[in-house]
Amino acid sequence: MIRHARAADHAAIRAVNLAAFPGAAEADLVERLRADGDAVFELVAETDSEIVGHILFSRLWADSVNLYLALAPMAVIPGEQGQGQGSALVRAGLEFCKECGAHGVIVLGHPDYYPRFGFSAEATAMVASPYAGSPAFMAQAIEDGAFDQPLTLAYPDAFTEL
């Protein structure tokens, strides 16, 4: 089951991120994005009432009036990886991005994983960002033309501390 995260889930979300990644950087990122007010929404995946996955979307600062979001991080506990929890989180998250009125979404993630959801490095060709040029820097237009014009995007401060 995929649902919106609640404050009561924060400890379990931290545990998921600590289990899924080496070190605490991603778990700390989630907490800092929340504390700074940059988290737009979070979803969790549950199996047997246990949180086994998490995804967060945060605001990107753009030289545009349109809303752009960053997908990061997305985590699934090791015992549940490869069973569709991550895919379900990404798909549900992108659907909610549409409902939120997001113009486009950026991810800095595995180039072999995110293209299956419509992300591509080619979509970032006209995006200026500290991560531009990396094959892991990918975008997906939620609204037509979201990445057709030159665009400068700045990440929340929490990302610079990774």
Q: What is the DSSP string of 27-95?
A: HHHHHHHHHTT-EEEEEEEEETTEEEEEEEEEEEEESSSSEEEEEEEEEE-GGGTTTTHHHHHHHHHHH
- How confident is the model over 96-119, as a mean pLDDT? 97
How much of the chain exceeds pLDDT 90, in percent?
A: 98
CA–CA gap between residue 54 and residue 134 (Å, rounded): 24
Question: What's residue 96's pLDDT?
Answer: 98
How would you label 91-101 residue by residue, b for 16+ Cβ within 10 Å and e otherwise? ebbbebbeeee
- Residue 70: how many other CB atoms lie within 10 Å: 23
Average pLDDT for the chain: 96
In CATH, the number for domain 2-161 is 3.40.630.30
Question: What's residue 64's pLDDT?
Answer: 86
Sign of the C-alpha dihedral computed for residues 136, 59, 29 and 92 taken in this order = negative
Question: What's residue 18's pLDDT?
Answer: 98
How much of the chain exceeds pLDDT 70, in percent?
A: 99
* Cis-peptide into 73, omega within 30 deg: yes
Question: What's residue 161's pLDDT?
Answer: 77
Question: If you count them, how many residues does the chain have?
Answer: 162
pLDDT in tens, 19-71: 999 999 999 999 999 999 999 999 999 999 999 999 999 999 999 899 999 99
Question: What's residue 37's pLDDT?
Answer: 97
Indicate whether 160 pLDDT > 90. Answer: no
Sign of the C-alpha dihedral computed for residues 1, 78, 116 and 155 taken in this order = positive
Sign of the C-alpha dihedral computed for residues 162, 134, 89 and 105 taken in this order = positive
Question: What's residue 151's pLDDT?
Answer: 96
Indicate whether 122 pLDDT > 80. Answer: yes
